[in-house]
């Protein structure tokens, strides 16, 4: 089991992952789910790990425990809906042996995408799982990990065990100087009896992907931009190794579109939550161009946004006003989205390239027959 099973690990990293992530279509990153006639895609966006590292740091610094609780809730909801989107098996719904086999593959998948290596111990009778991770995303850098360490694990395990009272606690962390990160997930009564302080979130969204999800997010030929993530990898701007996308030494993390909308909706639970997210995205994009002078052009900004999955993009400037049209922007069924993360990124990029502070405050949404379009104005 775990790190001692190099064959399975090799199979997932080298065979399964490259096939299931579709990265050769401009404007779209897709993960394949299902088989045969049921085969379909989930829409994803590649987001720098640094954004989540800073979001956790800043929210906790400003709001303390009430802020970290919101982050944990977001993580648990993302983990839970991800289980449902990826059609994870649920305990009791398949036989025990099959469940454990699936679990092993899922853990390795998470290991490949999120971590250097990962090991686990499971006790299904007590609905308990323990993960030991090395070089795991986000918490390795900030010692926090509410989103994808404790929260994300809780959501995934609650989904797989069909028990919303399952929570998770991080008991050691490389971000604090420990040798490895460790997360324990089990029903909250058990966590209590083990004297582990947990956060809780039992209000988990029931996901029902509507027909529109597939229509709006289906691959369409792009009009404006022709660069895919694969193209940027081929031209050595990004690298892709063992399920992990890197820009220079910075990790990028694939998040399903629904999760981004969900995150922004839940951040409304803290007064400045989305302003913090906007600011972090702005600073990240600005620094990326500052540190890499060769990228200082609107063409690069355009290619970067298209290749990381944000859709088909056209940046124009008229009488001092920048206008960005995005066709086939990632869609999920949320009311009144405000695109803080995306607008922050674009504002940071365009500000640094143009040498003036450009904030994309205004936006319009338009729907055509099968495309969700967003226009930003500075």
Q: Cα-flanking dihedrals φ and ψ of residue 374, to 5°? A: -125, 135
Burial class (CB in 10 A: 0-12, 13-18, 19+), 195: exposed
Closest approach, Cβ 175 to Zn ion, in A, equals 5
Q: For Zn ion, give the closer residue by CB, 6 or 177.
A: 177
Give me the residue label for tokens 């086939």.
Answer: 328
- In the complex, least distance from residue 145 CB atom to Zn ion, rounded to whole angstroms: 5
- Give the per-residue contact string, 126-165, with Zn ion (x = CB under 5 A; - = no): -------------x--------------------------
Residue 144 CB, nearest approach to Zn ion (Å): 8
- Reading the block at residue 152, the tokens are 């994300």
Shortest Cβ 138–Zn ion spacing (Å)? 8
CB of 172 or CB of 323, closer to Zn ion: 172
CB of 127 to Zn ion, least distance (A): 23
CA-based radius of gyration for the chain: 20
Instruction: Considering the complex, state which of residue 181 and residue 204 has its C-beta at the smaller distance from Zn ion.
Output: 181
Stretch that binds Zn ion, among 23-31, 99-107, 168-176, 334-342 (CB under 5 A): 168-176
Count of CA atoms in the C-beta half-sphere (13 A) of 269:
15
Report the C-alpha gap between 131 and 157 in whole angstroms: 11
Cβ atoms within 10 A of the Cβ of 281, count? 26
Among 99-107, 175-183, 292-300, 364-372, the segment contacting Zn ion (CB under 5 A): 175-183
User: CB of residue 107 vs Zn ion: minimum separation in angstroms?
Assistant: 16
Specify the residue, 48 or 175, whose C-beta has the smaller distance to Zn ion.
175
Q: Which is nearer to Zn ion, 40 or 171 (CB)?
A: 171
Of 122 and 181, the one with the shorter C-beta distance to Zn ion is 181
Tokens 């990124």 — which residue?
345
Taking contact as CB under 5 A, which single stretch among the options 17-25, 153-161, 179-187, 211-219 is the one that binds Zn ion?
179-187
In whole angstroms, the minimum distance from the beta carbon of 263 to Zn ion comes to 20
- State the number of binding residues for Zn ion (CB under 5 A): 4
Select the span of 95-103, 160-168, 181-189, 293-301 touching Zn ion (CB under 5 A): 181-189
Nearer to Zn ion, 138 or 306 (CB): 138
**Considering only 80-88, 117-125, 166-174, 317-325, which stretch makes contact with Zn ion by CB under 5 A?**
166-174
Task: Considering only the stretches 122-130, 173-181, 344-352, 365-373, report the one whose residues sit in contact with Zn ion under the rule CB under 5 A.
Answer: 173-181
CB of 195 to Zn ion, least distance (A): 20
d(CA 84, CA 366): 29
Q: How far is the CB of 40 from Zn ion (least distance, A)?
A: 33
- Which residue among 114, 156, 173, 257 contacts Zn ion (CB under 5 A)? 173
Smaller CB distance to Zn ion: residue 42 or 139? 139
Q: Which of 30, 154, 181, 313 binds Zn ion (CB under 5 A)?
A: 181
Nearer to Zn ion, 181 or 324 (CB): 181
Would you give the distance in Å from CA 343 to the centre of its chain? 17
* Residues of this chain that bind Zn ion (CB under 5 A): 139, 173, 175, 181
């Amino acid at each position: 089991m775990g790190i001692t099973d190099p064959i399975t690990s090799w199979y997932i990293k080298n065979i399964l992952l490259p096939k299931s992530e579709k990265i050769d279509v401009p404007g779209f990153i897709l993960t394949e789910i299902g088989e045969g006639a049921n085969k379909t895609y989930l829409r994803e966006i590649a987001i720098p790990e640094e954004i989540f590292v800073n979001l956790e740091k800043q929210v906790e610094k400003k709001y303390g425990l009430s802020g970290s609780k919101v982050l944990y809730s977001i993580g648990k909801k993302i983990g839970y809906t991800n289980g449902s989107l990826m059609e994870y098996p649920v305990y009791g719904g398949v036989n025990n042996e099959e469940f454990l086999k699936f679990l092993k593959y899922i853990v390795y998948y998470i290991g490949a995408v999120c971590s250097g290596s990962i090991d686990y111990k499971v006790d299904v009778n007590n609905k308990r799982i323990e993960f030991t991770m090395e070089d795991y995303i986000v918490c390795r850098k900030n010692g926090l990990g509410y989103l994808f360490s404790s929260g994300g694990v809780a959501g995934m395990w609650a989904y797989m065990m069909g028990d919303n009272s399952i929570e998770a606690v991080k008991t050691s962390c490389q971000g604090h100087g420990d040798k490895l990160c460790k997360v324990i997930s089990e029903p909250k009564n058990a966590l209590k009896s083990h004297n582990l302080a947990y956060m809780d979130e039992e209000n988990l969204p029931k996901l029902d992907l509507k027909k529109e999800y597939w229509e709006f997010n289906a691959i369409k030929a792009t009009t404006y931009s022709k660069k895919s993530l694969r193209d940027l990898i081929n031209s050595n701007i990004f690298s892709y190794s063992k399920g992990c996308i890197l820009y220079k030494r910075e990790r990028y993390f694939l998040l399903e579109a629904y999760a981004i909308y969900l995150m922004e909706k839940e951040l409304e639970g803290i007064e400045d939550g989305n302003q913090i997210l906007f600011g972090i995205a702005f600073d990240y994009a600005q620094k990326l161009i500052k540190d890499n002078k060769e990228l200082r052009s609107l063409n690069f900004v355009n290619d970067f946004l298209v290749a990381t999955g944000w859709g088909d993009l056209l940046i124009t400037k008229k009488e001092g006003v920048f206008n960005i049209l995005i066709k086939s922007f990632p869609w999920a069924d949320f009311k009144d989205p405000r695109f803080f993360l995306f607008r922050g990124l674009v504002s940071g990029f365009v500000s640094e390239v143009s040498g003036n502070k450009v904030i994309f405050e205004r936006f319009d949404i338009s729907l055509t027959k099968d495309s969700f379009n967003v226009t930003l104005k500075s």
